[in-house]
């Protein structure tokens, strides 16, 4: 939610801020703004509602330039998207500008105190209290700007990543973090801040991941980091290993399409990292914790939100089947409020692409308080989740910019497969031979996905028949039930066609009432032979009897459903446990082309944000 970028150095900050904001637009896109300290001593503020391109046009019409600036792209929480509510926000004197990601929870109390002292607020945002607080502290005299920032933040409660500039200090950019991500890009004679590494990929190759409760003072010559109480911190400078191309569209029409096509490579990378030549699984950094927990744990608890939750539902099935441990899943937003009861020795697994989802983090903190060890499956190095976990399995999918998750999801599925195999081996539920068979089949998955991608034109043609429908139903059983949910989610997220995922066996308990000749029913019917396949065919018959329009995902060579389904999407056949990795790619393409035909803005679906850092 919300992207922040900032620059101090000898160059004109404006193009650098815009470049960074373009790469952060996936975090929010209902308005954008910049504050730039100009050479004439003025602090130029420009904001526009809507996409970043509106701000760019405004900057073309009214050029501003200067070596110090901050920028912001917003996903509204407090106050509707409007120019007044857009960031940067100013103090009363117009000398202090602030951009913020997060929520200042006690802003109403702070605002009331400041109003009583004569401060006049212009916006409905929580953020505006920060520049006013700093102004108030500086008014008292005797404090440096850095001290005033620290003091202001000591009275703020909630989550924030902040970028702060002062009109009267042209060579200093201040940044602070508590609960929302923020990095410092360390350059040569210039420094940056950003919500995420891709924003400054072309510009620096060293970064500092700020910790909660730290404030950074960036000057062209260097960066100093201190804690809120004023004691100096010793920041660790890390090399950036990502390539700039990772955050580019690489010739694809959208990031989402690029990311769908990256899946074979992403999964291959993950396999190369964790499957040894002899076919055994090595979970690297997570190994020690899993070895300690494998026999000890009485239960596994999987915590996540959104698409990651569907990966968790899949993970549960695998862990129960291959590792023979009772396993439950919960949504972060439910777990934290349900007064959970956990067996004493519960191993928690948190799943998150971003590692910043507020509800997932809160549920992890609660699980830890209850004594759980936490392993995270996460895509973003340096994220809050990784810091708060006991061990991690990085999905290594690279930056995912399209708001609807694709490659991060399949990487989560693959990570669960690896983890379940390893746990199974450690617990003696799988023998060496079975481990090798399974990793050999895992190694075939990237090629199977290539074959699904090769069918893109056919899938597009099928989607063209249904894109005008108002609703769609997705059905799957057992391992493909979470994939029915994910397929429906993908569709509604990007195309705005109402879509529901259902366990096929539950269809007769409700959604069957929806079925008529206007309803496409997407059914996951692979593999051809397993114990739930016949049940699935019975469900298809029930749909057919009510004139529903069946789109069946079937195994290549399976002709048995052609008479029953209006359309079939053949995909390579693998074992049932791994079929979700293949099937979901067909559903991603189906949703994609549906959305495209409906004219949607696929990478930036309305109202959504990539990383949900509020509850």
Kindly list the residues in this chain that would bind ligand G6P in the complex (CB under 6 A).
305-308, 352-354, 357, 360, 403-405, 608, 610-612
User: Looking at beta carbons only, is 305 or 414 nearer to ligand G6P?
Assistant: 305
Cis peptide before 495 (omega within 30 of 0): no
DSSP string for residues in 382-401: T-HHHHTSSEEEE-------
Question: Minimum distance from CB of 605 to ligand G6P (Å)?
Answer: 8
Question: Minimum distance from CB of 256 to ligand G6P (Å)?
Answer: 11
User: Looking at beta carbons only, is 537 or 608 nearer to ligand G6P?
Assistant: 608
**Active-site residue, 610 included:** yes
Question: Minimum distance from CB of 569 to ligand G6P (Å)?
Answer: 23
> How many alpha carbons lie under 13 Å from residue 164 in its C-beta half-sphere?
29
Question: Minimum distance from CB of 303 to ligand G6P (Å)?
Answer: 10
- Of 572, 571, 552, the C-alpha closest to 562 is 552
Question: Minimum distance from CB of 330 to ligand G6P (Å)?
Answer: 14
The CA distance from 98 to 4, in Å, is: 10
Evaluate the CA torsion angle 514, 520, 524, 528 in order and state its sign.
positive
- Of 193, 214, 178, the C-alpha closest to 69 is 193
Give first-to-last CA distance, the chain, whole Å: 11
Question: Minimum distance from CB of 51 to ligand G6P (Å)?
Answer: 18
User: Looking at beta carbons only, is 319 or 612 nearer to ligand G6P?
Assistant: 612
Q: Token pair for residue 372?
A: 């759980």
User: Looking at beta carbons only, is 84 or 362 nearer to ligand G6P?
Assistant: 362
User: Looking at beta carbons only, is 306 or 482 nearer to ligand G6P?
Assistant: 306
Q: Token pair for residue 201?
A: 């990929």
Q: Using the CB atoms, write b or e for 339-375: b if 16+ within 10 Å.
A: ebebeeebbbbbbbbbbbbbbbbbbbebbeeeebbbb
User: Looking at beta carbons only, is 191 or 357 nearer to ligand G6P?
Assistant: 357
- Of 175, 78, 88, 91, the C-alpha closest to 129 is 91
Q: Are 589 and 457 in contact (CB under 8 A)?
A: no
Catalytic-role residue among 2, 178, 327, 378: 2
**Active-site residue, 508 included:** no
Strands (E), 79-172: 89-90, 96-104, 158-166
Question: Minimum distance from CB of 182 to ligand G6P (Å)?
Answer: 17
Element (H, E) at 367: helix 358-369
User: Looking at beta carbons only, is 352 or 463 nearer to ligand G6P?
Assistant: 352
DSSP string for residues in 525-592: --SSSSTTHHHHHHHHHHHHHTT-EEEEEEETT--TTTTT-SEEEEE----GGGHHHHHHHHHHHHHH
Q: Token pair for residue 441?
A: 């089949």
What is the SS3 assignment for 305? coil
Question: Minimum distance from CB of 195 to ligand G6P (Å)?
Answer: 13
Tell me whether residue 221 is exposed, middle or buried, using C-beta atoms within 10 angstroms of its C-beta: 0 to 12, 13 to 18, 19 or more: exposed
Catalytic-role residue among 47, 596, 604, 610: 610
User: Looking at beta carbons only, is 127 or 352 nearer to ligand G6P?
Assistant: 352
| Residue showing the smallest CB distance to ligand G6P in the complex | 306
**What amino acid positions are annotated as catalytic residues?**
2, 610
């Amino acid at each position: 939610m919300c992207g922040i970028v900032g620059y101090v150095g000898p160059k004109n900050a404006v193009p650098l801020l815009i470049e960074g904001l373009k790469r952060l637009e996936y975090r929010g896109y209902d308005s954008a703004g910049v504050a730039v300290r100009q050479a004439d001593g003025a602090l130029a503020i420009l904001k526009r509602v809507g996409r970043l391109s509106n701000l760019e046009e405004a900057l073309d019409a009214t050029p501003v330039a200067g070596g110090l600036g901050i920028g912001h792209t917003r996903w509204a929480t407090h106050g509707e998207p409007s120019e007044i509510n857009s960031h940067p926000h100013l103090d009363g004197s117009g000398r202090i500008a602030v951009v913020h990601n997060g929520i200042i929870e006690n802003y109403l109390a702070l605002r009331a105190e400041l109003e009583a002292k004569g401060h006049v607020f212009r916006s409905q945002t929580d953020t505006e209290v920060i520049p006013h607080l700093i102004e108030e502290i500086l008014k008292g005299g005797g404090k440096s700007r850095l001290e005033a920032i620290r003091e202001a933040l000591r009275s703020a409660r909630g989550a924030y990543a902040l970028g702060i500039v002062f009109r009267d200090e042209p060579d200093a950019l201040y940044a602070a973090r508590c609960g929302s991500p923020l990095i410092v890009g360390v350059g040569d004679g210039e420094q940056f801040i950003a919500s995420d590494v891709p924003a400054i990929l072309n510009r620096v190759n060293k970064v500092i991941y700020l910790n909660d409760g730290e404030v950074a003072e960036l000057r062209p010559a260097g960066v100093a980091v201190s804690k809120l109480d004023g004691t100096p911190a010793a920041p660790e400078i890390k090399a950036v290993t990502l390539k700039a191309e990772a955050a580019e569209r690489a010739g694809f029409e959208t990031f989402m399409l690029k990311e769908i096509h990256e899946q074979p490579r992403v999964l291959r990378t993950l396999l190369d990292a964790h499957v040894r030549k002899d076919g055994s699984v090595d979970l690297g950094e997570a190994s020690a914790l899993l070895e300690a927990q494998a026999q000890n744990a009485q239960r596994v608890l999987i915590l996540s939100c959104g698409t990651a939750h569907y990966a968790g539902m899949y993970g549960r099935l695998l862990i129960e089947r291959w590792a023979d441990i009772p396993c439950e899943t919960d949504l972060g937003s439910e777990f934290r409020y349900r007064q959970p009861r956990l067996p004493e020795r519960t191993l928690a697994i948190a799943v998150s692409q971003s590692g910043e989802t507020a509800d997932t983090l809160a549920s992890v903190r609660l699980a830890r308080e209850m004594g759980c060890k936490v392993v995270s499956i996460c895509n973003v190095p340096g994220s809050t989740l990784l810091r708060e976990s006991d061990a991690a399995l990085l999905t290594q999918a690279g930056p995912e910019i399209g708001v609807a998750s694709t490659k991060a999801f399949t990487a989560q599925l693959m990570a669960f497969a690896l983890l379940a195999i390893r746990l199974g081996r450690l617990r003696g539920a799988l023998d060496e031979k079975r481990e090798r068979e399974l990793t050999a089949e895992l190694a075939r998955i990237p090629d199977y996905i290539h074959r699904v991608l090769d069918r893109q034109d056919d899938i597009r043609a099928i989607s063209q028949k249904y894109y005008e429908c108002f609703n769609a139903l997705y059905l799957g059983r057992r391992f493909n039930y979470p994939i029915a949910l994910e397929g429906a989610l993908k569709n509604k997220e990007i195309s705005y066609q109402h879509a529901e995922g259902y366990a096929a066996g539950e269809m007769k308990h409700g959604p069957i009432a929806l079925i008529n000749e206007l309803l496409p029913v997407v059914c996951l019917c692979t593999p051809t032979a397993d114990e739930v396949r016949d049940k699935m065919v019975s469900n298809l018959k029930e749909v057919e009897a009510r004139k529903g329009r069946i789109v069946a995902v079937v195994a290549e060579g399976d002709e048995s459903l052609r008479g029953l389904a209006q359309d079939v999407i053949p995909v390579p056949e693998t074992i049932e446990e791994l079929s979700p990795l293949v099937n979901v790619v067909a559903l991603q393409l189906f949703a994609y082309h549906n959305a495209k035909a409906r004219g949607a803005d696929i990478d930036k679906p309305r109202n959504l944000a990539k990383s949900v850092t509020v509850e």
